[in-house]
Structure 1
Amino acid sequence: MTPDLFGNAGAYSKVGEAGVLDKMPIAVTDDGPQYTLILGEQRIAMNEFIGQRIRLEHSGRIFCQHCGVQTKKSWQGFCYDHFMSLAQADGCIMSPEKCHFEQGTCREPEWGERNCFQTHYVYLANTGQVKVGITRGTQVPTRWLDQGAHQALPIARVRSRYLAGLLEVLFKQHVSDKTHWRTMLKSTDEDIDLAATRDQLFAECTSELQDLQSQYGLQAVQLIQHADIYTVIYPLKDMPEKFSSFNFDKETVVEGTLLGMKGQYLILDTGVINIRRFTGYEASFNVQE
């Protein structure tokens, strides 16, 4: 047993041992998305704790997700050396239209060939508002679940991450390419006509799309006219009155009744925490008896 915040022993029971946090896997089942909290080698099924009071406590230790070395600060989940040296931490990951492989300056050309030169999709998502995004084909529908999208619609299939980035830049002149976390969490899962938005984008960008297809080929840039809309209902019992965000860099304890999960967020009655943001942070997980 561990003491609670006021030193009252026995208020919480520990679930497993302290471990390093990682992005929560989300399994798609007939009963809806099933969330797993990763603490090192441990896997904790979170859906069963909805409605219970939980506590996550950060030990103060942070580890690089690539090499496992303890670091004083996390640079997007990496130690500083690997943040500066790995291709997966380079700026073109967030801005693929600036692909370093295309420019001949990729940090890890072999990694780029494996990860960037495969089928990617450009999609529209409903995260409380319409946004455009890109993802590898192997990450459908994981990417949409991670973003907390209620709906998603693939609108183009391309041969590389670079080409996906070019399309995203084109489309984001008309729709946002950002997920605003408060808007996403507060959204009531009302449907948006994503197909109508797709048709409007194709019409507004006709000449630019034709130029890209002419330059790279019709097989390299394929527009998707008739895909089905993917819809998600997240495991949420309720929503908090306040949407304050917990930050392990400022506070070591996150405590409250678990209301559910959406995107990579644990939603408590006391606030929310983005688990993916704290990849590499060592924490323990406790449940009130």
Structure 2
Amino acid sequence: MERQGICHKMHAALLENNVTDSSLHQANVEYKFNLDRTVVDLPFQLGQEIEIEWTGKIYCVSCGNATPKSYSQGHCFKCFKTKASCDLCIMKPETCHYHLGTCREDSFAHEVCFQPHIVYLANSSALKVGITRLGQMPTRWLDQGATQALPIMKVGSRRLSGQLETMFANEVADKTDWRKLLKGQAEPLNLIEIRDQLVERFSPKIQTIREEFSQNLEFNEGVELLENEQQRQFIYPVESYPEKIKSHNLDKTPVIRGVLQGIKGQYLLLDTGVINIRKYTGYELIIRAE
């Protein structure tokens, strides 16, 4: 079987009809490819020999033009320099500058930045704190390969969520160690207990941030503690984890082959190495299975 198209990050979802234990909110993760912005079934399964070929072509995910190089996950240089989705505040939301009148795209701010956001705890390679738009749960956790996740706060803007994430990052990592992620399961954590400890520890600072943002009358940027949320657990389709991590690079080796041993986060785990599919957003790929 063969699939060809412009690559976007894999589509990850929960198999709700195959919940392992509803009392634990535990569910299996299912993956599909996103080629030419169309979600399609994977042309292979675990244990199969697969081949991924880059045709040498890259197309900007924003304007659609051909580009010799990809910037900021699939953009041409012009879009990279002009689109709000490529601004520094996407990576560091606490640096959002809309309130200073310097946002690149007003419409983007209203559609993305001033939507409800969740501050969460997750366990992928270890404990981390993160943020995501309300509508991106559980996608954000699955893209990061988290085996556990717990929403802890709901807020009214991306900048506010970034302020809280930065605050918690003084105690909890805000990055995932991708090598540890791909070497096996992280040790289980009691995220509810950790949440309670963090909220108590940072209570004065949370109140200060809440008061600061409540002065913005244009947008509802309140802070809501999610005390009744339950911990989620996710099971990924992995038969075996690699003992050593070797990363495939299509820019250097345009054709890679290997037996698929698992999928976690945005990574395919092959017996010849791992490949981050999201890294090749905008690349035209041909995927073949024996």
1:131 — aligned with what? Answer: 128
How far apart are the structure 2 equivalents of 1:250 and 1:274?
Answer: 14
Who is 1:235 aligned against? 237
* 2:2 matched residue in structure 1: 15
Helix, strand or coil for the counterpart of 1:34?
Answer: strand
Alignment coverage as a number of residue pairs = 274
Q: CA deviation at 1:42?
A: 5.7
Whole-Å Cα distance in 2 between the matches of residues 159 and 47 of structure 1?
40
1:43 CA displacement = 4.4
Partner of 1:35: 31
Equivalence for 2:176: 179
- Local SS of the residue matching 1:71: coil
Offset from partner CA, 1:152-195 (integer Å, 9 cap, x none): 00111000001000001100000000011111122324311111
2:149 pairs with one of 136, 148, 152: 152
2:12 is matched with which residue?
26
* Counterparts in 2 of 1:132 and 1:41: CA distance versus 1, 3 Å: closer
**Per-residue deviation, 1:117:** 0.6
Q: Residue 101 of structure 1 contacts residue 112 of structure 1 at CA under 8 Å; is this kept in 2?
A: yes
SS at match of 1:236: coil
Q: Give the partner amino acid of 1:155.
A: I
Aligned CA-pair RMSD:
1.7
Letter in 2 for 1:258: L
- Alignment counterpart, residue 54 of structure 1, candidates 45, 50, 55: 50
Give unmatched runs, 5+ long, in structure 1.
1-13
TM superposition shift of 1:141: 0.6
Moved more, 230-239 or 200-209: 200-209
- Matched letter for residue 65 of structure 1: V
Mapping of 1:182-193 within 5 angstroms? 182-193=179-190
Distance in 1 of aligned mates of 2:285 and 2:151: 36
For each residue in 1:129-154, what CA deviation from the matched residue of structure 2 results, as whole angstroms up to 9, or x when unmatched? 10000000010111000110000001
Helix, strand or coil for the counterpart of 1:232?
A: strand
1:42–1:98: structure 2 CA closer, same or farther, 3 Å change rule?
closer
How many angstroms apart in 1 are the aligned matches of 2:53 and 2:242? Answer: 20
Tell me, in whole angstroms, the C-alpha distance in 2 between the residues paired with 1:219 and 1:42: 35
Residue by residue over 1:212-260, the C-alpha shift from the partner in whole angstroms, topping out at 9 and shown as x without a partner, is: 1223349701122231001100011111233111111211112100011
Q: What is the Cα deviation at residue 48 of structure 1?
A: 5.0
Indicate how the Cα distance of structure 1 residues 199 and 106 shifts in structure 2: closer, same or farther if over 3 A, else same. Answer: same
Matched, 1:221 2:218: no
How far does residue 102 in structure 1 lie from its aligned partner after superposition? 2.2
Q: How does 1:272-283 map to 2 (within 5 A)?
A: 272-283=274-285
Q: CA 1:23/1:219 → structure 2, altered by over 3 Å: closer, same or farther? A: closer
SS in 1 for 2:112: helix
What is the percentage of aligned positions where both structures have the same residue?
Answer: 45
Aligned partner of 1:85 among 52, 65, 82:
82
The whole-number CA distance in structure 2 between the counterparts of 1:213 and 1:205 is 12
Pair 1:68 & 2:54 matched: no
TM-score using structure 2 length: 0.90
- Give, in whole Å, the separation in 1 of the partners of 2:39 and 2:196: 42
Distance 1:198 1:47, change over 3 A: farther
Name the SS of the counterpart of 1:131 in structure 2.
strand
1:8 maps to which residue? none
* Equivalent position amino acid for 1:130 in 2: L
Instruction: State the TM-score, normalized to the length of structure 1.
Output: 0.90
Equivalent in 261, 264, 268 of residue 262 of structure 1: 264
Partners of 1:276 and 1:270 in 2: CA distance: 19
Q: Give, in whole Å, the separation in 2 of the partners of 1:195 and 1:285.
A: 41
CA distance in 1, matches of 2:48, 2:38: 20
Structure-2 separation of matches of 1:41 and 1:115: 20
Q: CA deviation at 1:34?
A: 1.5
Say if 2:165 is the partner of 1:168: yes
Post-superposition Cα deviations, 1:13-40, rounded to whole Å, max 9, x if no partner, equal: x513x31110111121134221112232
Match of 2:165, SS?
A: helix
